[in-house]
Chains A and B, each alone.
Chain A
């Protein structure tokens, strides 16, 4: 009977002793997560207040981020959205740190993989943000310069430049994230090359008359303005 009882109690003792060893890790994880969550909330509140103080929402309006958010069906203020993003990033970070406190080899390797991937996420996010601002800036500059030069297709030119730049930036961001890099590279080459080839064919063959009309129109207007103003603006 005793032997039978030992057979039952031994695994239970073993489980209990393992649980005793594991319990501090679990408590540590819970403490880390609770503290991390509180800290994340605190940082979010402070960050949002700071962003409001430095007029981040107006800056986002000017840079076109607000419009981009609205297109993506996000209706919160840019400051609140950034605060939310930072909050959830901190929660994920806390979760990863908490999980690593459990000292479970499988979880440890998962956490390690996550942390080695974080710099890529960060750099691709930076590429997207900086690229979006830069593409907007360049296309706006092209639009204004083209209008001031009397170019008739200014908006079309500016939009084409913005689209090409955004394709380039998306390809760079995906390459950074290592999402099917060979496919991204091939797709990018096909899209970029395709656009150029399509333009060349449509202008050179299909739209030869339209192209001639456009060029002649620009040229005739230029000729017309040769006998131009002699006024001194300053």
Chain B
């Protein structure tokens, strides 16, 4: 359970390095275009904010064919004067290797945790390899709360366009907050800081042969940290701009990966979340500032068409999951015109709770169940976009806050229904 196969040359490098204070991990797969910038930003951050700490950058690669590992080896910050640094800096080592095991971000993280344990690291951070907006300050903001603040886990806090991150905003954040009582705004942000102790705790969990190894590692890390009583904080990192995602990426597959991981965690932590009511803010680090964000094109008509197609074709499935009362309300939404379409937050809360209960009851095969949520999710997303199109970012955020409060105030419904099927 605890062993991960690291290549002999990686073992050799670990032996040569001995021990470090900081490990910064970068999982990657075909990110040759962007990873150089990420490596340089991390080097600058380590040099500027942790000059006397021994540090290593670990690139855990999924078998890239575009020379990602070569780019990591070649990328280095030549001119420390450029970042206004004139004093001595501890050398920063680099380890880049293809990880072993089930292909997926979780397996990449597992190798990073393993190296952090082998090097007896005090603090670790992981950042995405496709980031374009990472700055040296991210390194400080993710690591300092661990090294100097006594925190075990630091989640990211970004400024994003009001229409971006809709799965986070309408499902993962409100649900995680209502379940575990901690207001971690970006539970699946992708860039985290954590203590060496927490890395060892993660490694000891029996999940590395499950779906966590493939997908869902982000929500798993956040939930595991909160549910097991580790000290959790968040750091404001500014804007998150990264390489354009694959345009062919299927929304329903994305939804399945994120939501199934969240629901699976509800199963394993039911004893923790059931008694919790309300929520408390997480300590937030960093200086919040406004970020100029690019315009985002949306096609709400297409979203609403897909919602209506779902209503027409998935009637039996939705009826079985939502029950007659809520299904009638959803049916009523189908008759509204695009302009007057509004998905009530109370109904959306019950939809998510009903899906969680159906997942718990194993009413349908997990993939079918969660993928059947896609048209409802698109209806909810279209409704939010129509509502927030003329709003400022802060007003849109206030709408998300209202949704979170609805999730919290309806939690009794979830707990009661869940207990019936235990």
Contact = CB atoms under 8 A, between A and B. Distances in A.
Interface of A: 58, 62, 137, 140-141, 143-148, 150-152, 154-155, 221, 224-225, 227-234
Interface residues of B, number: 43
A231 B258 contact: no
A230 B188 CA distance: 19
Contacts of A225: 299, 302
A51 B248 CA distance: 45
Interface in B280-317: 296-299, 302-303, 305-306, 309-310, 312-314, 317
B245 interface: yes
A141 B368 contact: yes
Interface in B249-291: 250-252, 254-255, 258
Contacts of B306: 147-148, 150
Nearest to A232: B164
Contacts of B303: 229
Interface of B: 160-161, 163-168, 188, 245, 250-252, 254-255, 258, 296-299, 302-303, 305-306, 309-310, 312-314, 317, 361-365, 367-368, 371-372, 374-375, 381, 385
Contact of B309 (A140, A152, A232): A152
B298 A137 contact: no
A230 B245 CA distance: 10
Contact of A231 (B166, B309, B372): B166
Contact of B297 (A147, A151, A228): A228
A233 B251 CA distance: 8
A234 B128 CA distance: 14
A147 B313 contact: yes
Given A144-B371, A229-B302, A234 B163 contact: no
A230 B161 CA distance: 11
B254 A227 contact: no
A64 to B, nearest CB: 10
A223 to B, nearest CB: 12
B365 to A, nearest CB: 7
Contact of B363 (A62, A147, A233): A62
B296 A231 contact: yes
A231 B252 CA distance: 15
10 contacts: A141-B368, A144-B314, A144-B374, A147-B310, A148-B306, A152-B309, A228-B299, A231-B164, A231-B298, A231-B381
A234 B298 contact: no
B296 A155 contact: no
Given A137-B365, A154-B313, A234-B254, A144 B296 contact: no
B167 A233 contact: yes
B251 A148 contact: yes
A147 B167 contact: no
A130 B166 CA distance: 39
A147 B368 CA distance: 12
Chain A interface, DSSP helix/strand/loop, else mixed: helix
Contact of B368 (A144, A152, A234): A144
A92 B166 CA distance: 61
Contacts of B188: 234
B300 to A, nearest CB: 9
B168 A229 contact: no
Nearest to A228: B299
Given A141-B367, A148-B250, A227-B299, 4 more contacts: A141-B368, A148-B375, A230-B296, A233-B251
Contacts of B309: 147, 150-152, 154
A232 B254 CA distance: 11
A148 B297 contact: no
Contact of A62 (B245, B362, B374): B362
Contacts of A137: 365, 368
Contact of A233 (B254, B305, B317, B364): B254
Contacts of B385: 231
Contact of A234 (B258, B312, B367): B258
B368 A140 contact: yes
Contacts of A155: 312-313
B296 A148 contact: no
B297 A227 contact: yes
Nearest to B371: A144
Given A147-B313, A152-B309, A227-B299, A234 B375 contact: no
A55 to B, nearest CB: 10
B168 A234 contact: yes
A152 B306 CA distance: 10
